[in-house]
Amino acid sequence: MLDDLGFIHEKDVEDALGVVAKQAEQLRISFTLTGKTDFGEIHNIVFTGMGGSALAALLFRTWPGVNRPFEVVRDYELPAYVGPTTLVIASSYSGNTEETLSALADAAAKGAQIAVITGGGKLQAEGEAKNYAMAVLPKIEQPRYAILSSFKALLTILEQAGLLADQTVTAAADEAADFLDEHIKSWLPTVPTAQNPAKQLAQEIIGKSLVIYAGPKMFPAAYKWKISCNENAKHVAWTNQLPEFNHNEFIGWSKQPVDKPYVVVDLRSSFEHPRVQKRFAVTERLLSGLRPSPHVVEAQGETLLEQLLWTSAFGDFVTIYLALLSGIDPAPVDLVEKFKKALDE
């Protein structure tokens, strides 16, 4: 089925596979910030956004990181500590996310310094009216496919604010784009299932709920897998990270029934703490026969950024193929739009 290009084109109406195949291009975008970009003294950073719009910040906290406390808020309100020495970055691809707009108003009321990442809507209008520092994202059909452009926009803002721990990160992002382009080639729909690991894993997952585990370094990629499984494949999925997993959820796998309706995927990285790497091995041994044997995805790449990008992109392809196996168009998220309308009724 997944080697039938006619079937793929029929089901993938909005060409989600074509969009994720070109995602490395987003890392090469050169953003020109508008508005007030002469930031003052900054003691901490708060990034506010929901869903895919928050993912860029999760990736950024892992790589490259910043030299200030950095919190990601997915809520209507900001922490009490936010004030004039806080940089609040409000991100919404649509520009109409109600939680983000509420948090933006809270930031303004607290006198915080403000920057905006958006593709339009009310957030862009507010940014222009208040002269906030702003990066405008290029048009992409679904926010979850625009993660890397949001990531590059965030990098640009923090670089402008002088908050990057390493001033070579822009060049590193460009190099990582070349790496990602090369590896994506092996997951394209034109590559037969026998040579295509993304198609193969999708076939293993079909019909069961996906549980993704990772260490702290790869957890942003694991969370992206969860979102992609939810929105691309319309499958329920869960994620958790080690070592926290071994203090509670680990026990949850230890009882019957053995034949649980789940598929487990471990996202492993050579950059994780050695004790985290050992935890994966010990967990697999102690839970052998008590849960489905995990499908181990070893992150590829010589740098942490390359491994994050590789693992995240691999998940995009796996979950889109999972949608196609289920006869589902991966791009639309009609129920989310219906939910938003129902909130306003």
Active site residue 340: yes
Residues 192 and 152 in one domain: no
Count of the separate structural domains present in the chain: 2
The verdict on residue 345 lying in a domain is no
Residues 198 and 317 in one domain: yes
Nearest to 187 by CA among 24, 11, 13, 10: 24
Residue 258 is predicted with a pLDDT of 67
Active-site pick, 9, 185, 338, 340 = 340
254 secondary structure, DSSP code: S
Active-site pick, 99, 126, 231, 272 = 231
Walk along the chain (345 residues) in steps of 10 and give the mean pLDDT of each run.
92 93 94 95 96 91 90 96 98 95 98 97 96 94 87 94 82 91 97 97 93 97 96 94 96 80 96 98 94 95 96 97 94 79 77
Residue 256 is predicted with a pLDDT of 67
Residue 46 is predicted with a pLDDT of 98
Nearest to 117 by CA among 219, 209, 33: 33
The verdict on residue 170 lying in a domain is no
Residue 332 is predicted with a pLDDT of 79
At 115, is the secondary structure helix, strand, or coil?
strand
What is the DSSP pairing of strand 237-241 with strand 209-214? parallel
Predicted model pTM? 0.93
The verdict on residue 171 lying in a domain is no
- Give the structural domain span for 94: 31-160
In this structure, are residues 222 and 269 in contact, taking their beta carbons and an 8 Å threshold? no
Q: Is the peptide bond before 64 cis (omega within 30 degrees of 0)?
A: yes
CATH of the domain at 227: 3.40.50.10490
Q: What type of residue sits at position 52? A: G
Alpha carbon of 197 to those of 35, 164, 193, 314: distances in Å? 45, 36, 7, 9
For tokens 């906030």, what's the residue? 132
Residues 140 and 218 in one domain: no
Active site residue 43: no
Residues 264 and 299 in one domain: yes
**230: alpha, beta or left, given left = phi > 0 and alpha = psi -120 to 50?**
alpha
C-alpha 173/C-alpha 154 separation (Å) is: 12
The verdict on residue 181 lying in a domain is no
Residue 166 is predicted with a pLDDT of 72
30 - beta bridge partners? none
Surface-to-core class of residue 116, CB atoms within 10 Å of its CB (0-12 exposed, 13-18 middle, 19+ buried): buried
Active site residue 247: yes
Nearest to 215 by CA among 179, 239, 235, 249: 239
Active-site pick, 41, 139, 247, 341 = 247
Residues 314 and 209 in one domain: yes
